[in-house]
A = this chain, B = another copy of it.
Amino acid sequence: MTLAKPIEWLGDRVRILDQTRLPQEEVYLELDNYRDLASAIRELKVRGAPAIGVAGAYAVALGALQIEARTKGEFLESLRGVVDAIGATRPTARNLFWALEHMRRVAQAIEDVAQTKAALVDEAMKIHAEEETATRKLSQFGAELIKDGFTILTHCNAGPLATAGYGTALGIIIRAKEQGKRVKVLATETRPLLQGARLTTWELKKAGIPVMLITDSMAGYFMRRGEVGCVIVGADRIAANGDTANKIGTYTLAVLARENNIPFYVAAPTTTIDPALSSGEEIPIEQRNAEEVTHIHGSAIAPEGIAAANPAFDITPHRYISAIITEKGVIRGNYGEGIKGIFRRV
């Protein structure tokens, strides 16, 4: 399969595939200003935790290239504004803050401003390449858990689009197919923004993997009928104890999976893990605009003036998770110890 390139560095600008226009149109945008890239992150033109991290790093690089500073001190002060603006786009995905921390550290390491700019561009490209490699590796680990003939239920979109790489949940499924296993996917549409209906189906169709679209409310029906071999989802942030923030509705799928004795897997690169947070209670949950719920494709679905809630993520407590699949290996059982072990090895 030809992977879509959701983010590409073009030397002095970034080319992104506008994911809000999919699947109707494949529109690419070329952005040479960090503010435009920050807006693209906020507006979900680039989305998915690993892809947000990569885009955030490139945004810092773009911002750095734009800074006109006479001294390193001036440069760092301007860069702080750039980093803060990018960090303010979306609060939940750990990968964004991980990338910003790395970029900040690189900015401080070198004295010369021109060399710092070059180092920041290099670091962003390195982050991109490492995320790509990480998703390939974790897909390989995860594919071992997929049995021939499995129907896999997934939520939202955790494919190449979401990772600027090979994908996490979908990467595993695509890898299993490449291994010759017959796999099918049940894709939840993922209201409110329909990433499952729009993006997951689009990617799986390109990959030649049979996919059946369902509403979020149908997952339980198919699980109870015994038609689901396992559930695999991506993650936006994983706490030190394994509690996982992911797209709203993930917690529900985890509860349903356990109730029906179906393995529930979380797939994410280690950049999604936030070892500083002891549990999921500490993960900030993005609250988005009510209009994303009350309107679909610009058309109102509710009477005027009706209030709507729009938490974009929920927390799945670690006890519902059968395994966390990372590029460093598969963590099971005591997630606290498993995560510590992985970070010791990093």
Question: A48 interface residue, CB < 8 Å from B?
Answer: no
Question: A221 interface residue, CB < 8 Å from B?
Answer: yes
Query: Which of chain A's residues 292-324 have a Cβ closer than 8 Å to chain B?
Result: 293-294, 296-297, 299-303, 305-309, 311, 314-315
Contact B191 A215 (CB under 8 A): yes
Return chain B residues, CB-CB under 8 Å to A256: 252, 255
Return the chain B residue nearest A252 by Cβ.
B220
Give the copy number: 2
Question: A166 interface residue, CB < 8 Å from B?
Answer: no
Size category of the binding interface on chain A: 35 or more
Question: A230 interface residue, CB < 8 Å from B?
Answer: no
Query: Which of chain A's residues 207-235 have a Cβ closer than 8 Å to chain B?
Result: 210-222, 224
Return chain B residues, CB-CB under 8 Å to A252: 217, 219-220, 252, 256
Query: Which of chain A's residues 1-55 have a Cβ closer than 8 Å to chain B?
Result: 23-24
Q: A311 is contacted by which of B218, B309, B315 (Cβ under 8 Å)?
A: B218
Question: A58 interface residue, CB < 8 Å from B?
Answer: no
Contact A259 B249 (CB under 8 A): no
A interface residue numbers (CB < 8 A to B): 23-24, 186, 188-192, 194, 197-198, 201-202, 205, 210-222, 224, 248-249, 251-252, 255-256, 259, 293-294, 296-297, 299-303, 305-309, 311, 314-315
Q: A306 is contacted by which of B211, B221, B302 (Cβ under 8 Å)?
A: B211
Bound-state CA distance A298–B301 (Å) is: 12
